[in-house]
Chains A and B, each alone.
Chain A
């Protein structure tokens, strides 16, 4: 039972490079999310997708783009990485009812030098 799978787990980028974080879930969930975690800041929502074909900005969308490729997959792209984007990124999924549990992947550690 894989749940939410993120790749890569670790990545080092140079300033200005681009990359895509991949996320897939096998729980048939409609909603998917990308969160950013920095020390002392908790988790902040970057983008979310309430259902296949829709995406919306969260609290901290600047510098990121997303694609909901199909129901299973939701990718996060950094077009031109900046040192300020050094962070841990978590993908998550759920069904959209407010009482439903949101399940998280194990995280992707990104360093921009």
Chain B
């Protein structure tokens, strides 16, 4: 069965600093991987997804993620964080139904 681990429950970052959120997955075949963002009181919005091709994936809002098969990882990055990036971020793997990690809450300080 597939599973996703997000090792960091909470990350605090200064505005303008870089951000990296970790995601490790367990899946027997080629994974279909997603990152979603959830602002407080809102639903989930897709940031980016990977299922084949270039291992560096560009998403919305200036986010990117890199798929590393050897490390079973799909880490999310942003070079310069804005205050509006404060949210909860979820990594997920899709085997006809999404399995989510527990999420990482990002706090942005001025």
Contact = CB atoms under 8 A, between A and B. Distances in A.
B97 A33 contact: yes
Contact of B32 (A50, A92, A99): A99
Contacts, number: 58
Interface residues of A, number: 24
A103 B98 CA distance: 11
Interface residues on B, range: 20 to 34
B58 interface: no
B44 A58 contact: no
B94 A104 contact: no
A107 B43 contact: yes
B97 A48 contact: yes
B37 to A, nearest CB: 11
Given A40-B9, A42-B102, A50 B44 contact: no
B74 interface: no
Contacts of B4: 42
Interface in B16-57: 32, 34, 36, 41-46, 49, 51-52
